[in-house]
Amino acid sequence: MKKLTAIYTLGLLGALFIALVVINNQLFDGMRVDLTEDKVFTLSQGSHQIIDQIEEPLTLHFFFSDDATKGMTSLRNYADRVKSLLREYEQAANGNIKLKIIDPEPFSEAEDSAARLGLTGAALGNANETIYFGLAGTNTLDDQVTIGFFDPQKARFLEYDISKLLHQLTIGNSPKLALITDLPVQGGQNPVTGQPQSPMVFYEQLKQLFDVHLVAPDATELPEDTTVVMLAHPPAMSETLKYAVDQYAMGQGQVIVFADPHYESDMLSMMGNQQPNRSDMSLLEAWGIAIPARDIVLDGTLGLEIQSATGDIISHPGYLGLGTGQINRDDVITANLESVNLASAGHLSLLPSSTLDMDTLLATTSDSFIVDAQYYLNHPGPEDLQQQLGVTGETRVLAAHISGTTISAFGQPVSPADKANFRATTDDLNVLVVADADMLADRFWVQQNQFFGEVLYTPFANNGDFIINAAENLSGSNALIDVRSRGQFARPFSRVEALEEKAQKKYREHEQKLRDELAQTELQLARLQNQQGQGTSVVLTDEQQRAIDAFVEKRVVIRKALRDVQYELRSDIDKLGNWLKFVNIAAAPLVLVMTLYLLTLLLRKRAGTRFNRN
């Protein structure tokens, strides 16, 4: 009887389990509970805003070479994360997003489809295999936007990249950005070396979100329907073009200016030209914004390390590496930036007569100091510049968002035909000013890498994010900024890091002791060799020989001690890992079994009670 009761109970539990799975899949499939501290698996509000703007069905084609990546655990784990996030987008869109997951096997129609949608397979080792790990989005107008390859190194921008793709498919026509510059943003041929140059990365990033129109300095007008005007190291513009920019700003237009007292990333400047390469700042001055043309900011705290002419690593006070302490964390443009690099930057302020308001975005520390641009050019060595540093206790503004009331740079229209539309003042100037243009140059914020045969540009500073955020903000698109502003989600293994730090402390102490011992012995040997080189017959004394033998023995002991420390480090970490494995693999199932056992006893007791009553 007891055996039948146990079988009945287990059967009932099995049926209950299957019923709960079916009910969950059918009724609660759309429900999610994100228990992570930073809500890693929850779409940001900005992504939901972009999804809500979708008015026509979009199709997302996710290509991942499942069979070809067997054994590539890290890449497959990242692919699972991408797939899970794409499903979140599909679910949140309420039918406006259709997700297709495709494994493009070699020589298949799926591989042809990937090529047709603009995805390129990445080379996989020497086996002549290619893998696909990208996304193509299409709309009903057959517009398509692609993410060629999901780079695991850019995992923190995953949601932003997908939301940006949806945004591009949704808005149809991208906002129009007029870029006024004579910088080689499109690449081309290097005028000195004759070698081809790639387009500047910030320009390529802008083109992904904006309809970028390059405007020559001698042009007479801005493109129609311009949303944002960007002056990148503004050259001397024609009077009519300058008037067009001025009137655009007076008409509540959005302007971004990168003005520099010396743009040293220019080829002639890099070859040693001794004349400052200044931007045209006449419009800013007329609006009430001052960037002293001869002032270059040094900072003894923010200097980036470079290799000097003698081969030493030295801090360059004119190359500023701004960290979170110098970046405004309360402004949406800079809220999520960690570092921004500038070079030979100026500083900006409002003229005493100005009625504008200024919100600082980037600033120096209180260790900043001003040098003349000509002195900076005549003394390119960091050592000379460091001697100019002093304690001023003053913080300089490097970039700011400026708004409010100002007057036109022109007292009257440039031609009688413009008289009817002339705006002499504005109460809504909206200008973002950066007192540096070198931050646009690739060498100060991005490096080129190879990944599975693909050329990838990996940023080591947030210069590109700053530029894109500024353009998006002034163009009125805050949704993508909200997505980009999500922090980097990292859950460090604090216990493991503590163990490593403890062991590394021991390691560094032993290593330094060994280095000191080695330096002393090498000095003794060098002296002996010098005597031998002078023709002196060298015979080591017993005391010298004992010293050398003692050092050799000591070196062996210390090296063994270092190995022991490393072994202890790995041993402690392995013990921690084994304990976690036990909890995950054995303890959790044991708890489940015990719970089921107790439930069985409870059901058996209730069954026995009912039987006795009958």
Could you report the per-residue pLDDT of 173-231, keeping only the tens digit for each?
Answer: 778 999 999 999 998 777 666 677 889 999 999 998 899 999 999 999 999 989 999 99
Residue 217 lies in a domain: yes
| Per-residue confidence (pLDDT) for residue 487, from 0 to 100 | 46
- Check which CATH number belongs to the domain holding 102 and give it: 3.40.30.10
Find the mean pLDDT for residues 354-374: 93
Residue 13 lies in a domain: no
63 lies in the same domain as 185: no
Task: Answer yes or no: is pLDDT of 294 > 70.
Answer: yes
User: Could you tell me the CA-to-CA distances from 372 to 388, 427, 511 in Å, in that order?
Assistant: 11, 35, 45
Task: Answer yes or no: is pLDDT of 499 > 90.
Answer: no
Nearest to 401 by CA among 344, 470, 330: 470
| Per-residue confidence (pLDDT) for residue 493, from 0 to 100 | 54
Region of poorest pLDDT, from 18-27, 137-146, 234-243? 18-27
| Per-residue confidence (pLDDT) for residue 441, from 0 to 100 | 94
Model-level pTM? 0.59
Residue 565 lies in a domain: yes
| Per-residue confidence (pLDDT) for residue 539, from 0 to 100 | 59
Could you report the per-residue pLDDT of 383-424, keeping only the tens digit for each?
Answer: 778 777 776 778 999 999 999 999 999 988 888 888 888 999
327 lies in the same domain as 263: yes
Residue 480 lies in a domain: no
Residue owning tokens 């949406």: 332
| Per-residue confidence (pLDDT) for residue 587, from 0 to 100 | 65
Residue 12 lies in a domain: no
Q: How many domains does the chain contain in total? A: 3
Beta carbons of 278 and 293 less than 8 angstroms apart: yes
457 lies in the same domain as 328: yes
273 lies in the same domain as 349: yes
463 lies in the same domain as 516: no
Residue 112 lies in a domain: yes
Give the confidence band of 466 by pLDDT, cuts at 50, 70, 90: very high
Rounded Cα–Cα distance for residues 25 and 29 (Å): 5
The DSSP H or E segment spanning 412 is none
Cα separation of the two ends of the chain: 16
Beta carbons of 213 and 185 less than 8 angstroms apart: no
Find the mean pLDDT for residues 359-365: 95
Residue owning tokens 């096997």: 105
3-state secondary structure of 1: coil
| Per-residue confidence (pLDDT) for residue 490, from 0 to 100 | 44
Question: In this predicted model, which residue has the larger pLDDT, 527 or 215?
Answer: 215
342 lies in the same domain as 264: yes
Find the mean pLDDT for residues 490-519: 57
45 contacts: CB under 8 Å, gap ≥ 6: 482
| Per-residue confidence (pLDDT) for residue 456, from 0 to 100 | 72
Beta carbons of 19 and 455 less than 8 angstroms apart: no
Residue owning tokens 């002549």: 128
Which residue range forms the structural domain that includes residue 392?
Answer: 176-189+199-474
359 lies in the same domain as 457: yes
Beta carbons of 178 and 215 less than 8 angstroms apart: yes
| Per-residue confidence (pLDDT) for residue 489, from 0 to 100 | 45
Best mean pLDDT range from 325-334, 382-391, 498-507: 325-334
237 lies in the same domain as 327: yes
Rounded Cα–Cα distance for residues 467 and 159 (Å): 19
| Per-residue confidence (pLDDT) for residue 532, from 0 to 100 | 46
335 lies in the same domain as 418: yes
Maximum Cα interatomic distance, the chain, rounded to a whole number of Å: 116
Question: In this predicted model, which residue has the larger pLDDT, 501 or 80?
Answer: 80
Residue 497: half-sphere exposure toward Cβ, Cα within 13 Å: 4
Question: In this predicted model, which residue has the larger pLDDT, 464 or 512?
Answer: 464
| Per-residue confidence (pLDDT) for residue 271, from 0 to 100 | 64
Rounded Cα–Cα distance for residues 289 and 352 (Å): 10
Give the confidence band of 292 by pLDDT, cuts at 50, 70, 90: very high
Find the mean pLDDT for residues 427-454: 87
Question: In this predicted model, which residue has the larger pLDDT, 76 or 36?
Answer: 76
Residue 7 lies in a domain: no
Give the confidence band of 488 by pLDDT, cuts at 50, 70, 90: very low
300 lies in the same domain as 360: yes
The DSSP H or E segment spanning 137 is strand 133-138
Rounded Cα–Cα distance for residues 256 and 289 (Å): 13
Residue 18 lies in a domain: no
Task: Answer yes or no: is pLDDT of 610 > 60.
Answer: no
Instruction: At 540, give phi and psi (nearest 5°).
Output: -70, 135
- Check which CATH number belongs to the domain holding 306 and give it: 3.40.50
Could you report the per-residue pLDDT of 547-606, keeping only the tens digit for each?
Answer: 666 666 666 666 666 566 556 655 665 666 667 666 666 666 677 777 777 777 776 666
Region of poorest pLDDT, from 317-321, 339-343, 463-467, 525-529? 525-529
Find the mean pLDDT for residues 129-134: 87
3-state secondary structure of 195: coil
Task: Answer yes or no: is pLDDT of 289 > 80.
Answer: yes
